[in-house]
Amino acid sequence: MNTNKATKLQIVGNEPTDHTERNPGTPLDLAQINAIRINRSAIERRAATMGKRRSLKKQWQVAWLLRAISCMDLTTLAGDDTPDKVKRLCAKARQPVRQEILDALGVGQLHVTTGAVCVYHNFIETAKQALRGTNIPVAAVSTGFPAGQIPHELKVAQIEASVKAGADEIDIVVNREYVLTSQWQALYDEVADYRKACGDAHMKSIIATGELATLTNVAKASHICMMAGSDFIKTSTGKEPTNATLANSLVMVRAVRNYHEQTGVKVGFKPAGGIRTAKQALEWLILISEELGHDWLNAHLFRFGASSLLTDIERQLEHNLTGRYSADYRHPTS
């Protein structure tokens, strides 16, 4: 890949002018929430076109895949997590693609890293130490992740403990009962309490789209989380039977767009769970580009919740060079 192509890679996706903007939130507007209605068939028709109307080939595909890597929350949230496993994950976050592949693509100088590393509370300190000397933030899941079925005061205490341990970002889960029973004030108050407990740590609100029954509920929960001060809204924990889909993601990014139009504040979006292939990653990047614009195509406003996705992207990058797909074990993530 020549220098001109490498230059093209560097300009894919404009960086935002302000990387530190937080969402201050707004008062709860119940009239706006109650007026929300989502046409499922229209959403599904639009979602079905993603990836079909635009073809990304050769250096442009490489550029977008590198962008996808830079927007990953490289994640391990398993019962068999160990300090060594987290350290290996952090090493992969520092160097997500083998250097010889980057050099052959002509982008070895870009120093590509993932957007963040996401772990349970017990491994915050391990991850912080393993990422020392980088700008890669550590995210911790909290508030009784993934189900959230613990008392409110314990959820707040979990957030405070993770912030004290050094977490840069907190992924919280909302109480699905409040959404399913239309207790919008309770949902707003809950998320606002979490936002206060996060302090300077950025907060991602997981609304668990697969457990909210309707796309209208997805839209309402998204708006309320942003009104309560969420810096990101996130589709799923990755533990539900149905996680991120293009349809529920479309509803959420349009909520993000509406909130920006109303307040001038840019809130981030994170799909998580079930996104495992390079082709799927490109579909979500196209969704963000078309619905929100290139200002959102960076780790400050867009993330993938990813564990196995990186393996397939690295294989695709190598295929771009060799014309052959390598075995998964040549690209381990941990």
Return the active site residues.
171, 234, 270
Nearest-angstrom CA–CA distance, 95 and 99: 8
- 3 state SS for 2-18: CHHHHHHHHHCCCCCCC
Q: Token match 């349009």: residue? A: 254
What are the start-end ranges of the H helices in the chain? 3-11, 30-35, 40-48, 58-70, 83-94, 99-105, 124-130, 152-165, 176-180, 184-198, 215-227, 246-263, 278-291, 309-322
DSSP codes, 27-90: ---HHHHHH----HHHHHHHHHTTTTS----HHHHHHHHHHHHHTEEEE---TT--HHHHHHHH
Which residue in 277, 261, 174 sits closest to 217, CA to CA? Answer: 174
Count of C-beta atoms within a 10 Å radius of residue 282: 22
What does the block give as tokens for 108? 């070895």
Inter-residue contact 229 to 24 (CB < 8 Å): yes
CA 3 to chain centre: 31
Which residue in 159, 78, 71 sits closest to 115, CA to CA? Answer: 71
Nearest-angstrom CA–CA distance, 205 and 194: 9
Q: What are phi and psi of 38, to 5 degrees?
A: -115, 130
